[in-house]
């Protein structure tokens, strides 16, 4: 299934490089010079917490804000989480 999906995506979008690593969010991450503030909610059903933790651990100048009971999209509707995000980003 993974091989089939890979072939479909590569053909559909005209991607010449068949290496998924080329398009990884982690490619050359150690050279990024802008800060990252990641927010993860304990009830996120789309992104696992370990994915947020791995990203934050790999990214220079990164911090992780953890929220409760907001879900994946509720984070952006929460005034409290946005205030914490803003404070972390501009502190």
Q: What share of the chain is helix, strand, coil (3-state, %, to 5)?
A: 50, 15, 35
pLDDT digits 0-9 by tens, 6-29: 777 777 777 766 666 666 667 778
The band of 84, judged by pLDDT with boundaries at 50, 70 and 90, is confident
List, for residues 38-53, the tens digit of each pLDDT value. Answer: 999 999 999 999 999 9
Give the predicted TM-score (pTM) of the model: 0.66
SS (H, E, C) 58-80: HCCCEEEEEECCCHHHHHHHCHH
Domain ranges of the chain: 28-90
Distance of CA 7 to the CA centre of its chain: 24
Supply the pLDDT for residue 10.
74
- Confidence label for 70 from pLDDT (cuts 50, 70 and 90): very high
């Amino acid at each position: 299934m993974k091989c089939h999906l890979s072939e479909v995506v590569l053909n559909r979008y005209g991607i010449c490089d068949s290496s998924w690593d080329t398009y990884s969010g982690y490619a050359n991450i150690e050279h990024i010079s802008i800060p990252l503030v990641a927010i993860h909610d304990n009830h996120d059903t789309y992104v696992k917490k370990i994915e947020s933790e791995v990203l934050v651990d790999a990214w220079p100048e990164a911090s992780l804000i953890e929220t409760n009971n907001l879900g994946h999209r509720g984070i952006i509707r929460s005034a409290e989480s946005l205030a914490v995000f803003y404070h972390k980003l501009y502190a």
